[in-house]
Amino acid sequence: MAGNENEVNRSARSGRFVTEGTTERDPRHTTTEQVGNGGEQEVHRSASTGRFVTGTTAELHPSTTETQHV
pLDDT (tens digit per residue) in 16-63: 888 999 989 998 888 887 776 666 778 888 877 878 899 999 999 988
The predicted pLDDT at position 38 comes to: 62
Cross-strand bridge partners of residue 29 = none
HSE value, Cβ hemisphere, 13 Å, CA-based, for 4:
5
Q: Give the pLDDT confidence score for residue 1 in this predicted structure.
A: 42
3-state secondary structure of 26: coil
User: Looking at the DSSP assignment, which residues form a beta bridge with residue 68?
Assistant: 43
Burial of 13 (0-12, 13-18, 19+ CB in 10 A): exposed
pLDDT at 4: 64
| 56 Cβ contact list (under 8 Å, min separation 6) | none
